[in-house]
């Protein structure tokens, strides 16, 4: 017996309609906000993620699927979507396009971590990236796009948490104050936080260990160290959200530890899926394009894990649209009648009518039972009499009524009467 690898999960036919629904919500959100799709390879050169995700992050240090290909090159299954999109933006000369360049992706991603509810080793992300706009208005638009997507998906009871991590200048001042605060308290912190102290002190604020959280609760707040420009930018973002009634709270512990992240960072958080409650996160990364070899380009985006969103939707009772069911089942009495039924089914499908036909050589009675299991709205049974007269009785499976219709008129009947067409 060969089983699926640990941390992966099959999407079965009985579940796939839920995936299609949330992906449709993502694509509709992208359409509304003028975002065009980018598709990047599942694997990239490892260096891209070392530079684009960060050598000091847990993703790079502990979680990446990295291997040598047959040419001796180090390649990595992508652990997230942004780095590949930025690489594509640079490599394909998209900086010459009219700005802003607005794009989205729906992609699988891979991280070697302990599988848990809503968090797998192969997972899927919906994300957007906006290149070229440095204004606070771009930040607000990206946040509204995330909010729109969540609302379209039927997700409620999530809260928007917001912070600014400033520019490199004001962040350098803050890092000094943070280290001065943490230095005498390091012995009481976890090993990860102690190792981050010199390399990446901001990430200490994001530690989930209770002891560390108690210590950092009294740390200086980065919003108190913002320069005038960064403070004005953050105020503008908050104003744009408030004017449109988007509720939020400032959370000074939302940080990004890498230098290319700047100013606005945000998360949509739920309490319905355990301690790991972030369902969507994003922020501004004005330094990333340049760090990967492109021209200096402001950028902002977000990503949402689809497995976590689906778990949240199921936990909170979101009503999914019903999966597609056949409008009509065409039953055939014998081999000759099944051949006619097969031709009619093909004609119906060519005209946009979802239908099913017998492929198992069942009896007519068994075909009716099967049609009922499929949830077909109508059934038309073709026998010798129907072939001779050219008419067939179409049975409505919900109320048992029938209507006699010309064989050539089945398609038109279904289009008029079938809600699923």
Q: For 5-46, how does the pLDDT look when each residue is reduced to its tens digit (9 = 90+)?
A: 999 999 999 899 999 999 999 999 999 999 999 999 999 999
Q: Are residues 133 and 282 in the same domain?
A: yes
Final residue belonging to a domain, choices 262, 286, 315 = 315
In which band, very low, low, confident or very high, does the pLDDT at 418 lie, cut at 50, 70 and 90? low
Residues 244 and 335 in one domain: no
Look at residue 69 and tell me whether its pLDDT is greater than 90.
yes
pLDDT in tens, 319-362: 998 888 999 999 999 999 999 999 999 999 999 999 999 999 99
Global pTM value: 0.90
Alpha-carbon distance of 144 to 67, in angstroms, equals 38
Identify the burial level of 400 via C-beta atoms within 10 angstroms of its C-beta, where 0-12 means exposed, 13-18 middle and 19 or more buried.
Answer: exposed
pLDDT score of 66 more than 80: yes
**Same domain as 132, residue 34:** yes
Do both 57 and 150 map to the same domain?
yes
Task: Please tell me whether residues 54 and 121 are part of one structural domain.
Answer: yes
Q: What CATH number does the domain containing 380 carry?
A: 3.40.50.800
- Work out the burial of residue 110: count CB atoms within 10 Å of its CB; fewer than 13 is exposed, 13-18 middle, 19 or more buried: buried
Does pLDDT of 48 surpass 80?
yes
* CB atoms closer than 10 angstroms to residue 250: 13
353 falls within a domain:
yes
Nearest to 94, CA basis, from 301, 302, 289, 291: 289
Residue 374 domain boundaries: 328-415
In a domain, 172, yes or no: no
- Let me know whether 349 and 404 are in one domain: yes
Q: Which of 57-71, 297-311, 371-385 has the lowest mean pLDDT?
A: 57-71
The pLDDT score that the predictor gives to residue 195 is: 84
Among 286, 315, 344, which residue terminates a domain?
Answer: 315
Token match 């990047």: residue? 40
Average pLDDT, the chain: 92
On whether both 411 and 390 belong to a single domain, the answer is yes
Domain presence at residue 72: yes
306 plus 336 within the same structural domain: no
Least confident span in 52-56, 247-251, 276-280, 307-311: 52-56
- The residue-averaged pLDDT of 180-198 equals 88
- The string of pLDDT tens digits covering residues 202-216 is 888 878 788 888 888
Q: Tokens standing for 234?
A: 């953050």
355 shares a domain with 259: no
**What was the pLDDT predicted at 420?**
53
Cis upstream peptide for 24 (omega within 30°): no
Same domain, 332 and 367: yes
Specify whether 94 is located in the same domain as 58. yes
Residue 375 lies in a domain: yes
pLDDT band of residue 111 (cuts 50, 70, 90) is: very high
Distance of CA 99 to the CA centre of its chain: 25
Please list, in sequence order, all residues whose beta carbon lies within 8 angstroms of the beta carbon of residue 128, skipping any fewer than 6 positions away: 30, 33, 35, 102, 103, 104, 105, 142, 145, 301, 302
Contact, 126 vs 26, CB < 8 A?
yes
How many structural domains comprise the chain?
2
- Kindly indicate the confidence band of residue 419, based on its pLDDT and cuts at 50, 70 and 90: low
Which residues, in sequence order, are CB contacts of 299 under 8 Å at separation 6+?
86, 129, 130, 131, 132, 284, 285, 286, 288, 289
Q: What is the CATH number of the domain that holds 153?
A: 3.30.930.10
Within-domain flag for 186: no
Q: Render pLDDT for 153-177 as a digit per residue (tens, 0 to 9).
A: 999 889 999 999 999 898 888 889 9
Half-sphere exposure of 370 (CA within 13 A, CB side): 18
Say whether both 358 and 408 belong to one domain.
yes
Distance CA 101, CA 138 (A): 11
């Amino acid at each position: 017996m060969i089983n699926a690898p640990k941390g992966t999960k099959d999407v079965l036919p009985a579940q796939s309609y839920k995936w299609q629904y949330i992906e449709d919500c993502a694509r509709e959100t992208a359409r509304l906000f003028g975002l065009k799709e980018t598709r990047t390879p599942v694997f990239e050169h490892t260096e891209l993620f070392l530079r684009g995700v960060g050598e000091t992050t847990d993703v790079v240090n502990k979680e990446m699927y990295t291997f040598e290909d047959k040419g001796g090159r180090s390649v990595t299954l992508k652990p997230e979507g942004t780095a590949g999109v930025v690489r594509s933006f640079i490599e394909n000369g998209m900086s010459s396009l009219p700005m802003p360049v607005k794009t989205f992706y729906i992609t699988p991603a891979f991280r070697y971590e302990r599988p848990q509810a809503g968090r797998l080793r192969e997972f899927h992300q919906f994300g957007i990236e906006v290149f070229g706009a440095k204004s606070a208005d771009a930040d607000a638009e990206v946040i509204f796009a995330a909010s729109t997507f969540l609302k379209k998906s039927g997700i409620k009871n999530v809260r928007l948490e917001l912070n600014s991590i400033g520019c490199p200048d004001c962040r350098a001042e803050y890092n000094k104050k943070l280290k001065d605060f943490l230095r005498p308290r390091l012995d009481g912190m976890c090993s990860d936080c102690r190792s981050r102290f010199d390399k990446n002190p901001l990430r200490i604020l994001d530690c989930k260990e209770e002891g560390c959280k108690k210590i950092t609760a009294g740390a200086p707040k980065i919003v108190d160290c913002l320069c005038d420009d960064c403070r004005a930018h953050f105020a503008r973002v908050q104003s744009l959200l408030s004017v449109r009634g988007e509720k939020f709270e400032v959370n000074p512990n939302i940080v990004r530890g890498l230098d290319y992240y700047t100013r606005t960072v945000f998360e949509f958080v739920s309490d319905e899926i355990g301690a790991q409650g972030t369902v969507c996160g994003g922020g501004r990364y004005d330094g990333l394009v340049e760090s990967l070899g492109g021209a200096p380009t402001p950028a902002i985006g977000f990503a949402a894990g689809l497995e976590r969103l689906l778990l949240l939707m199921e936990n909170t009772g979101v009503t999914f649209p019903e999966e597609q069911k056949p409008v009509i089942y065409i039953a055939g009495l014998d081999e000759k009648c099944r051949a006619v039924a097969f031709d009619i089914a093909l004609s119906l499908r060519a005209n946009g009518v979802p239908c099913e036909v017998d492929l198992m050589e069942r009896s007519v009675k068994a075909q009716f039972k099967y049609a009922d299991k499929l949830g077909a709205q109508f059934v038309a049974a073709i026998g010798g009499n129907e072939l001779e007269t050219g008419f067939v009785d179409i049975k409505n499976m919900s109320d048992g009524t029938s209507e006699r219709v010309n064989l050539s008129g089945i398609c038109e009947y279904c289009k008029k009467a079938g809600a699923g067409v």
